[in-house]
Structure 1
Amino acid sequence: MFFIETIKTNKFKDALFTDPSLVGEESKLNRTVYTDGTSRLEANQKDHRIQYQHRNINSSTVFQTGDLIKRSVKYFNDTGSFTDDYQYFGINSNQQLSFNMFMDGLPIVNSTKHPFGMTSLEVQWANDDILNYKRPNYILGNKASQSEQVKLMNGTELKDLIIKQTKYDDLEKIEQIFPAYQAASTASDQDQAMFVWLEPVWCMKYNGKTVILSNDLLTEGSENHGVE
């Protein structure tokens, strides 16, 4: 279990808007919204998410993945976005890039059973501007308790689980199987969480989506349990 440190939203307002002095603010329940009439920044405390959107541009240019990675890394450096160890994790069909938080060399994904919130930087470009940027609103702190031993499934057990479940039955769509940490909430009120529980799990990339591999897959039915 780890402490988390919430990043002040003003830091993002100052870094992302061209002229922060022109930005208006509106608060509703667990959300605070900033806008200058063209761009919009929303801080969602419950989902531990910051989202910045440019409203007046459309995605029209197709970039090479390598160019997008370079653009994104420069943007993250310029805006002070690398607040933890983030590493490139993938790109989807809309050319949205993901840079996941890492711990001990393993990616951190959001738990589907006890979701904590965002664990990645996600960015989408339109020409030379940012169309959409999402990220966690927190920094991982120090350990709050001693680590516990967790036994993961071995290769045979993992293979049997994948064969038995029916939702992800097209083996040709499995792109990768890898160990990770899942970030799970420790609070009944997610927006009041001061800690996050990081538990080792097996994951797979299936048709572009990250899926946590557990025995819950056998009882999921038709629900959507891919990691966001």
Structure 2
Amino acid sequence: MRYETIKTMILAVFVAASIFLTWMIWNFQPHYDTIDRRDIHQVSIAEERDTGSLIKPGKIMVNQVNRHYGTTDESEINDILKEMKGWSFYGSQGIKTLSVKDINSLEIGNNHVDIVFPENVPVKVYKDVVQFNDKSLPDTSFNRIVIDFTDGGHRDNNLYFLSTTSQKAYVCSVNYQYISSLMKDINKTLYDSYKLYDVYNLSKGKTILLPKDQTNMNTYRYITDEVPPEKFERALFPDPNFVKKGEVGDSQEYTNGTSMMRTNDSSKMLYYINPSEDSNYQTNADDLLKRSLEFMNHPGMWTDTYHYFQMNLKKHQVIFRMYLHGTPVFENSKMAEIMLQWGENEIYQYNRPFYRLAILVPQKVSESMLPGGAEVIQEISKISGISLDRVDDLQIGYQLINDTDYDSKQNNVLIFEPEWYYLYNGDWIPVSQDQLGGKQGGLE
């Protein structure tokens, strides 16, 4: 009897344990870390870059005593921007609409520093570069920062975030001591780092400042290497495991059924399109530029030196252009620019080179002497079908040329040759060396 009782008790314990363990299994909820899909395909192609290094002026003008001095020197521009980062912009006077006469007065009038950007920059984006005291910033853009350095009894001076295209300016105040300190630094290097500029007329009422004398520029050759296209594949497609790869001539194609990336081995260009994205939507310049900066920084897809250069709000496009020694680079096949076109939620189209500059060929560096502003304007006026009153800007740039004398399957050699360019109907067009009398001098 005792033996049967013990067996019954043991069996009861087993049954109870079984019930308890079953209950534990049913109610057990393991802890899983949340997977962020944005990090699944995070690929580091290059280091992230801050807003100030991507949105940069291309030229700084100093206008004083009816004389105009300008510089495109990288180190000089960087020194001025570094000093301005410590300033505080306050006492906003709001948005002012200016006449053409007012704008000319700011650009070429005495006692003004004119910091010139290649494209309009939203004020709300530039707050990541300089300090605005105003809590609420306006929905406006600028392509000039004009500093009034008139000594008015050490009063605080005005500073204009000016758009020459919309003829509007966001006007702030700056402590005069900041400006006085800046002008002391500028005057130390004015005659060494700056060139003398003159005012030239493009048409009635339309003027431009250009170098008065010839400009000495180098031609460079660089051996290039490439970023493996697979890195862009992993960065652009949500799940690379579903991507199929194929060959079409000298191109590679990658597709997941909804989007496609194509790379061209000869031009080292990459083209991506996501047609499932809706490109018919409304946006603003602030949002468009922010999205583009964030996209390029995550997962850090910068190669070489690129600056914000152009925006087409209607097409939702932003273009970053290659710069060499502070000078923009141009090429007809878009080999010197990164173009982003946005859909409503994701990138719609993305075109860019996947080469990068690797080694300078020093024995191939040569000199060119580019003419002054008067000769350039004279030559442009002779071009058939070109009207000077439709020329919006002129500047020196590098023309990118493939060195066909260099034979290598692994690397290409690119030539960077200085040229005058003029902006006509939205396009930058070179004024050839032949038209301007060809190269002078040389170290080759």
Q: TM-score, normalised by structure 1?
A: 0.86
| Selected match of 1:6 from 202, 217, 226 | 226
Of Structure 1 and Structure 2, which has the larger fraction of its residues in strand?
Answer: 1
- Please state if 1:157 is matched with 2:375: yes
* Greater mean alpha carbon deviation, residues 190-199 or residues 48-57: 190-199
- Please state if 1:57 is matched with 2:57: no
Gap runs ≥5 in structure 2: 1-220, 437-444
1:216 and 1:58 mapped to 2: Cα distance?
46
Look up the match of 2:430: 212
Q: How does 1:74-113 map to 2 (within 5 A)?
A: 74-92=294-312, 93-110=314-331, 112=332
* Amino acid across the alignment from 1:123: L
**1:124-171 per-position Cα deviation (integer Å, ceiling 9, x unaligned):** 00112111000001011121134211111221220111100023x232
2:393 and 2:227 mapped to 1: Cα distance?
33
Q: CA deviation at 1:189?
A: 8.6
Q: CA deviation at 1:195?
A: 0.8
Gap runs ≥5 in structure 1: 219-228
2:248 and 2:298 mapped to 1: Cα distance?
30
Look up the match of 2:395: 178
2:353 and 2:407 mapped to 1: Cα distance?
14
* Amino acid across the alignment from 1:136: P
- Please state if 1:194 is matched with 2:412: yes
Instruction: Assess, with a 3 A threshold, how the Cα gap between structure 1 residues 178 and 191 changes in structure 2: closer, same or farther.
Output: farther
2:417 and 2:284 mapped to 1: Cα distance?
35
Q: CA deviation at 1:104?
A: 0.7
* Amino acid across the alignment from 2:317: Q
Q: CA deviation at 1:172?
A: 3.1
**1:165-219 per-position Cα deviation (integer Å, ceiling 9, x unaligned):** 023x23233221111111101016999452101111111221111111215679x
Q: Note if contact 1:202-1:214 (Cα within 8 Å) is conserved in structure 2.
A: yes
**1:53-98 per-position Cα deviation (integer Å, ceiling 9, x unaligned):** 0021231123222321111010001132211111011123523211
Q: TM-score, normalised by structure 2?
A: 0.45
* Greater mean alpha carbon deviation, residues 75-84 or residues 182-191: 182-191
2:382 and 2:433 mapped to 1: Cα distance?
10
* Amino acid across the alignment from 2:359: N
2:308 and 2:407 mapped to 1: Cα distance?
27
Structure having greater relative contact order (Cα 8 Å, sep ≥ 6)? 1
Q: Note if contact 1:30-1:191 (Cα within 8 Å) is conserved in structure 2.
A: no
1:177 and 1:148 mapped to 2: Cα distance?
23
* Amino acid across the alignment from 1:95: H
2:319 and 2:282 mapped to 1: Cα distance?
17
Instruction: Assess, with a 3 A threshold, how the Cα gap between structure 1 residues 207 and 95 changes in structure 2: closer, same or farther.
Output: farther
Look up the match of 2:286: 66
Of Structure 1 and Structure 2, which has the larger fraction of its residues in helix?
Answer: 2
1:118 and 1:189 mapped to 2: Cα distance?
18
Look up the match of 2:358: 141
1:162 and 1:99 mapped to 2: Cα distance?
27
Q: Note if contact 2:330-2:336 (Cα within 8 Å) is conserved in structure 1.
A: yes
DSSP-derived class of the 2:232 partner? helix
Instruction: Assess, with a 3 A threshold, how the Cα gap between structure 1 residues 95 and 216 changes in structure 2: closer, same or farther.
Output: farther
1:191 and 1:37 mapped to 2: Cα distance?
34
Instruction: Assess, with a 3 A threshold, how the Cα gap between structure 1 residues 55 and 73 changes in structure 2: closer, same or farther.
Output: same
| Selected match of 1:29 from 235, 249, 269 | 249
* Amino acid across the alignment from 1:183: L
Q: Note if contact 2:381-2:387 (Cα within 8 Å) is conserved in structure 1.
A: no
Q: Percent identity?
A: 29
